[in-house]
C-alpha cells in the first residue's frame, strides 16, 4: 500500500470518526431536549391529578400509579396534622411538623404543606410558595401556583398577577386558571377586583385564551 492510499484511507477514517462524533453530540442534545419536553408533557398530564389529590379528591384509578404514591402518602400525613393538631396548645407542634416537609424534594408536598401551614404562619407559608412559583423549573412552579390559587390574601394574589405573562405556556395557563378560579369563587379582595379584571381582559385580548 503506497503512502497516497494510506493517507487517503486515514483521511476517510478520520472523517468517519468526526462524523460519528457530530452525530453522537446531536443525538445527546436531541435526547436531552426530548427528555425535557417529555418531562413538561408529563407534568401537564399530572397537573389535574395532583391538584385533585392535594384537594383530597384523587380519582381511584390513579391511586396505584407509582408517580403519585409517594406524594399521596405525604399528603395523608399533612391531612392528619391538619385534622389532629387543631387546638391552640398544638399550634407550635403543628408548625414544626409542617415545616419539616419543606426539607423534602417533592414540590407538590412542599406546596401542600405550605397551604396547611398558612393559617398558622402566613409569612413562612407564602414565602415557601413564592420560592416554588418563581423557580426556574415548570415542574416546581406549578405546585406553587396551585397552592397560591387556593389561598385568599393580597400577597398570594400579587404573586399570581406578577406571573401572568410567564413565557412558559403551561405556567402561564396555570396562573390564569388560578386567577379565573379565584374570581369565580369571589376570593379576590375588593381593592384588587378591577386590577384583576383589567389584567384578564388584557390576557384575553393578547392571547388565544378564552376567559
- Residue 115 domain flag: yes
Q: Is residue 6 part of a domain?
A: no
In a domain, 139, yes or no: yes
- CB-CB contact of 81 with 96 (8 Å): no
The model carries a pTM of 0.68
pLDDT in tens, 108-147: 999 999 999 999 999 999 999 999 999 999 889 999 999 9
Tell me which of 50-54, 66-70, 108-112 is least confident. 50-54
Q: Which of 124, 116, 110, 53 is nearest to 82 (CA)?
A: 116
- SS3 state of residue 86: coil
Q: Which of 157, 210, 207 is nearest to 182 (CA)?
A: 157
Distance (Å, rounded) from C-alpha 166 to C-alpha 59? 30
- Judge contact between 130 and 159, C-beta under 8 A: yes
Give me the domain span that covers residue 198.
42-206
What CATH number should be reported for the domain holding residue 173? 1.25.10.10
How many domains does the chain divide into? 1
Instruction: For residue 199, give the nearest of 186, 180, 181, 185 by alpha carbon.
Output: 180
Residue 64: pLDDT over 60: no
- Whether residue 107 lies inside any domain: the answer is yes
Amino acid at each position: 500500500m503506497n503512502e497516497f492510499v494510506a493517507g487517503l484511507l486515514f483521511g476517510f477514517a478520520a472523517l468517519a470518526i468526526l462524523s460519528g462524533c457530530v452525530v453522537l453530540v446531536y443525538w445527546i442534545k436531541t435526547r436531552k431536549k426530548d427528555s425535557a419536553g417529555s418531562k413538561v408533557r408529563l407534568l401537564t398530564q399530572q397537573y389535574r391529578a395532583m391538584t385533585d389529590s392535594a384537594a383530597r379528591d384523587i380519582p381511584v384509578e390513579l391511586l396505584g400509579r407509582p408517580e403519585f404514591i409517594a406524594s399521596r402518602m405525604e399528603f395523608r400525613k399533612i391531612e392528619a396534622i391538619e385534622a389532629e393538631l387543631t387546638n391552640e396548645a398544638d399550634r407550635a407542634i403543628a408548625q414544626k411538623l409542617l415545616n419539616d416537609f419543606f426539607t423534602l424534594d417533592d414540590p407538590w408536598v412542599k406546596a401542600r404543606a405550605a397551604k396547611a401551614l398558612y393559617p398558622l404562619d402566613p409569612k413562612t407559608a407564602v414565602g415557601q410558595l413564592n420560592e416554588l412559583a418563581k423557580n426556574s423549573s415548570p415542574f416546581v412552579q406549578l405546585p406553587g401556583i396551585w397552592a397560591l390559587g387556593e389561598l385568599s390574601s393580597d400577597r398570594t394574589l400579587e404573586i399570581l398577577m406578577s406571573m401572568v405573562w410567564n413565557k412558559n405556556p403551561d405556567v402561564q395557563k396555570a396562573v390564569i386558571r388560578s386567577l379565573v378560579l379565584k374570581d369565580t369563587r369571589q376570593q379576590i379582595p375588593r381593592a384588587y377586583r378591577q386590577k384583576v379584571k383589567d389584567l384578564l381582559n388584557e390576557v384575553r385580548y393578547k392571547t388565544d385564551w378564552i376567559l
